[in-house]
A and B are shown apart, each in its own frame.
Chain A
Amino acid sequence: MSTTPSGSHAVGTGTERVGTAAPRTGAPVLEVDDLHVEFRSRGPVVTAVRGVSYSIAPGETMAILGESGCGKSVSAQAIMGILDIPPAHVTGAIRFEGRDMLTMGAEEQRKIRGPGVSMIFQDALSALNPVYTVGDQIGEMFRAHRGTSKKDAKAQAVELMDRVRIPAARQRVDDYPHQFSGGMRQRVMIAMALALDPKVLIADEPTTALDVTVQAQVMDLLKDLQRDTGMGLILITHDLGVVNEVADRVAVMYAGRVVETGTIDDVFTRPAHPYTRGLMSSIPLLEDKGHRLNPIVGAPPTLSRIPSGCSFHPRCPMARRGPGGGDCVSDVPLLREVAPGRRAECHYSEELLHG
């Protein structure tokens, strides 16, 4: 099913994008199918994720792009199974190596977390337990999942710290998280996540809390590690620059749904959805100096009051009341193939692509 890596491929420099049109090598290792996540508490029901579908092949980097509140983090946490089940309510299918995790028992699901799918978070300082050493926390992966002895676990932790390029690993393995800098802490998290050679790594805004230079180092590290292990990487971010450097494919999310998917090249140069196009045109270019900025008008909707029909219609310059099936205000567009290898959720994608 999933192919194992056969050593590193030819390495490009950090600025060269790897795999422009990387063919998907074999069956997807992770498939999300019509995922819905609702939160039911005192007030009305909030649907944070409204029917999201995407898949990851081994060795592929998929970026999930979207603004805050669009549901990208929640969908990732649903995949990991770390949402509190009441109040959260998850439906759909999440297939890891073909098996639907949502129909598994809790114990089976738990066994996949760590060895199969693992996750790193945005703020490493709060994501690491302050009272245990980093060696202890990294070693915990081995002790808990493989029953390794404390001594061996610690030795393997040192190896991992080396692998993620933390200098003086042997000395620093007994240090506490607060004694590291932000970038180093993020590497500790990466080491922890990679400990058991997972097939998929989900990185939730891994560089948002870091300085720009450190960002680049961490992204390079992730990319190199991915090449070495052949794991799938799901990169959740709102940073277009990072996506451009690192990802093969991208899924753009808006108001809890995926509105466009495709390769980076395709989506960024010729978007098939007005929202994506709005995102692209809002990036200021050097030659635009002195001109007005081009934001997308309006603000994302609150999840308790999603607009009818196409959720983007109040902000869309192309929205129209069309004939049957194409009315942006009342007809919900579905994710469909609008060009080879590209899907979008808009009644008028073709117009956007060819017009």
Chain B
Amino acid sequence: MGRYVARRLLLTIPVLIGASFLIFAMVYALPGDPIRALAGDRPLPESVQAALRAEYNLNDPLLVQYGKYALGLVQGDFGTDFSGRPVLQTITDRLPVTATLTGVAVVFEVLIGITAGVLAGLRRGSFLDNLVLVSTTLLVSIPVLVLGFTSQYVFGVRLGVVPVAGISEGLYSYVMPGLVLASISLAYVARLTRTSLADSLRADYVRTARAKGLDRRTVVIRHTLRNSLIPVVTFIGADIGGLLGGAIITESVFNIPGLGRAVFDSVSRQEGAVVVGIITLLVFFFIFFNLVVDVLYAVLDPRIRYE
């Protein structure tokens, strides 16, 4: 197991480097004028441009540029906006909000998704099963953007049971946005759990468990649940990326002052550096989270530990 974790850690390093280089290339290397690219249509006096060019080491050769850029990232320098405020500041201010929102979403995704999937998987062909099937198809089809506005209108504006926007009501204000953010992932988790459970129930080792005279409860809980959760866990890990993208939209729709909203605002205000800086952080977080999921996967499935 230790060797497995070490190998996973080692493999993460090229990914970290590669991903940051990819972003670097897109933003600072490929554009003819990166400052112009980041600023968009925003007018910048020449002196500011020259200062920024020096700050981003744009006059250095490519690899040196990247080296300094990477070094900066490691030290927490995610760039500055055009008024000189470091992106790191924005990040520390807003990270807790986004973390809460994403956390709520993951909780919903896991609790509702897995429960629905297990119930449906155990009672194939029943009314409950078909209900889960139909509702997940619907949920998967409704983009987060649409679900956001629709639920904001129906539950916020018309019915008034949830705050329309903002986080003035503490944790309760995260419920609707969290549900919206989790919706598509929840649907996928439910379906995956259902299929996975159904597969496990048909597996040969379940047949063996029944031949051993174990009672149904033991067979299902001990011999199918853990096996079925293996693919679900890995899905949830990889899906966090989708959640991060969806958080940008959800925070924008519900006006939640997190990192996602900051990205949205920065796009409209042509603050390219902020956009890139926050997204870089989100990518790093995603990579780290996947590492955690890899380890969790090995805990659940012993076959992985020894490869």
B214 at the interface (CB under 8 A from A): yes
B3 at the interface (CB under 8 A from A): no
Q: Closest CB-CB distance, B54 to chain A, in whole Å?
A: 57
- Residue in B230, B301, B302, B303 with the greatest tally of chain A CB atoms within 10 Å: B302
Q: Closest CB-CB distance, B220 to chain A, in whole Å?
A: 13
One of A123, A131, A179, A192 near B204 (C-beta < 8 A): A123
Q: Closest CB-CB distance, B62 to chain A, in whole Å?
A: 47
A260 at the interface (CB under 8 A from B): no
Q: CB-CB < 8 A to B203: which residues of A?
A: 126
Q: CB-CB < 8 A to B222: which residues of A?
A: 132, 140
Q: CB-CB < 8 A to A114: which residues of B?
A: 211-213
In this complex, the interface size class of chain A, counting residues with CB under 8 Å from chain B, is 20 to 34
Q: Closest CB-CB distance, A189 to chain B, in whole Å?
A: 8
Q: Closest CB-CB distance, B227 to chain A, in whole Å?
A: 6
A207 at the interface (CB under 8 A from B): no
Could you tell me if A128 and B205 are in contact, using CB atoms closer than 8 angstroms?
A: yes
Q: Closest CB-CB distance, B121 to chain A, in whole Å?
A: 15
One of B214, B302, B306 near A131 (C-beta < 8 A): B302
One of B210, B214, B227 near A140 (C-beta < 8 A): B214
Interface residues of B, dominant DSSP: helix
Q: CB-CB < 8 A to B205: which residues of A?
A: 126-130
B215 at the interface (CB under 8 A from A): yes
Q: Closest CB-CB distance, B198 to chain A, in whole Å?
A: 13
- Residue in B210, B215, B218 with the greatest tally of chain A CB atoms within 10 Å: B210
Could you tell me if A82 and B226 are in contact, using CB atoms closer than 8 angstroms?
A: no
B209 at the interface (CB under 8 A from A): yes
The number of chain B residues with a CB under 8 A from chain A is: 23
Could you tell me if B213 and A110 are in contact, using CB atoms closer than 8 angstroms?
A: yes
Docked pose: A127 CA to B209 CA in angstroms: 9
Could you tell me if A113 and B303 are in contact, using CB atoms closer than 8 angstroms?
A: no
One of A113, A123, A128, A130 near B213 (C-beta < 8 A): A113
Could you tell me if A113 and B208 are in contact, using CB atoms closer than 8 angstroms?
A: no
Docked pose: A121 CA to B210 CA in angstroms: 12
Q: CB-CB < 8 A to A126: which residues of B?
A: 203-205
Kindly supply a per-residue 1/0 record for chain B positions 283-300, scoring 1 wherever the CB is within 8 Å of any chain A CB and 0 otherwise. Answer: 000000000000000001
Chain B residue, CB-CB nearest to A126: B204
Docked pose: A157 CA to B301 CA in angstroms: 22
**Given A113-B211, A113-B212, 10 new contacts (CB under 8 A):** A127-B208, A129-B227, A130-B227, A131-B227, A132-B222, A144-B213, A144-B218, A178-B306, A189-B208, A192-B212
Which residues of A are at the interface with B, using a C-beta cutoff of 8 A? Answer: 80, 82, 110-115, 118-119, 121, 123, 126-132, 140-141, 144-145, 176, 178-179, 189, 192
